[in-house]
Amino acid sequence: MIKRNVFLLVLSFSFFLNANPALELYKDNDVDNPTYVSQIIIESEPVGATVFINGKRVGKTPYIIPQKNKAPKIKVRLEQKGFKENTFELNRPWTKSLLKVKMELLDNFYYFQSKPEGASVRTDKQLLGETPLLISKAALNNVDEIYFSKIGYLSSSVATVNLAETPNYFSELKSNLAILTAVVYPEDAGLYVNGKKIPPSGKIEGKFTAQKYIINTMPEGEYLIHAAKNNVLSKRNKVALEIGKTVQLSLFVWFPTHMLEFDESKPMQPIMVVHENSTGLTIMKKNGKFSTISYNKIIRTKHLQPSEAIKIGREYSLKLQ
């Protein structure tokens, strides 16, 4: 008898939810073997609806019905300016659930949303506000076009005649900015865009350490980009950036630390020592290419700047600058 009563309660809860198309129930439990808990979360679209439980105002969405509420039946009412009142009942027992309620817009209102939020909404004569924005239809009498704009994004518009079918209007704004990513070596070199130094976004760790840069606030156009350290510059790169596209650069400040002669190459090539360990050196050549050279292939080395050389056997290794 007890099991039958529990079944009927679960059935009545499920039946009510299915009967209300504005409600969606998200369950974490197996439907056939539910685990009963004492909490349910109510969310609304849009957020911020006032929540009334059994006639008492308790807060705004998103709202968690507290565990201390032991009532077997709870009457919930959601109110929000510009939207129809939404009322429903919750009958115990509950599963651990998230209840989403989509509020229905009243006939005499428009509701404007955008991605991203915070877009300016205006007519050709005045600013109406920022998204999300609720506005009465009467306020838009004799208005032909509504415009959406936000810094960093292309503007969009909608004719008011088209709002008759979509009073709950959503505008997805497209970025009018380009993205630049850059890797700069050595790590203490700086990145410059049109002569202005740019702060780094982080570091890249590995055999050598470099600075990484991600700049996503650049308008479309041509830029002169280079890296620099101690008044030594990398190659200057003239880069054309386009809206919605990403340009990737690797910049090396050519600051040779040694002259190195190999037994299989041209005498005394200028190189930059990037990394050394017990078996050899990782070096960078002037063309920005990296190579690993074992000590037994080094015939002769010379420091371009004063520094101590460490002798290994009959040959000389290098001390990093």
The pLDDT tens digits of the residues spanning 186-233 come to 888 899 999 999 998 888 887 677 889 998 888 888 999 999 888 777
Answer yes or no: CATH 2.60.40 is held by domain 258-316. Answer: no
Indicate where the chain has its CATH 2.60.40.3070 domain(s): 177-252
> What is the structure's pLDDT at 79?
96
Q: In this predicted structure, what is the pLDDT of residue 132?
A: 94
Please name the fold of domain 2-102: Immunoglobulin-like (2.60.40)
The sheet with strand 86-91 has its strands ordered as 56-60, 50-53, 73-79, 86-91
Q: Tens digits of per-residue pLDDT, 100-124? A: 999 999 999 999 999 999 999 999 8
pLDDT at 51: 95
Fold topology of 177-252: Immunoglobulin-like (2.60.40)
- Please enumerate, as own/partner, the contacts of 105-109 that have beta carbons within 8 Å and a separation of 24 or more: 105/167, 105/168, 106/82, 108/136, 108/137, 108/138, 109/82, 109/83, 109/134, 109/135, 109/136, 109/137, 109/167
Query: DSSP states of 127-196 as a string?
Result: EEEESSEEEEGGGGTT--EEEEE-TTB--EEEEGGGGGT-SEEEEEPPB-EEEEEEEEESTT-EEEETTE
What per-residue confidence (pLDDT) applies to 152?
80
Q: Which residues of the chain form CATH 2.30.30?
A: 258-316
Q: Collapsing DSSP states into helix, strand and coil, what is residue 16?
A: helix
Instruction: For residue 140, give every residue at least 6 positions away whose Cβ sits within 8 Å of its Cβ, in sequence order, or none.
Output: 110, 123, 146, 160
Residue 289 has pLDDT above 70, yes or no: yes
User: How are beta strands 210-219 and 56-60 bridged, if at all?
Assistant: unpaired
Residue-wise DSSP of 198-221: E---EEE-SSS-EEEEEEEEEESE
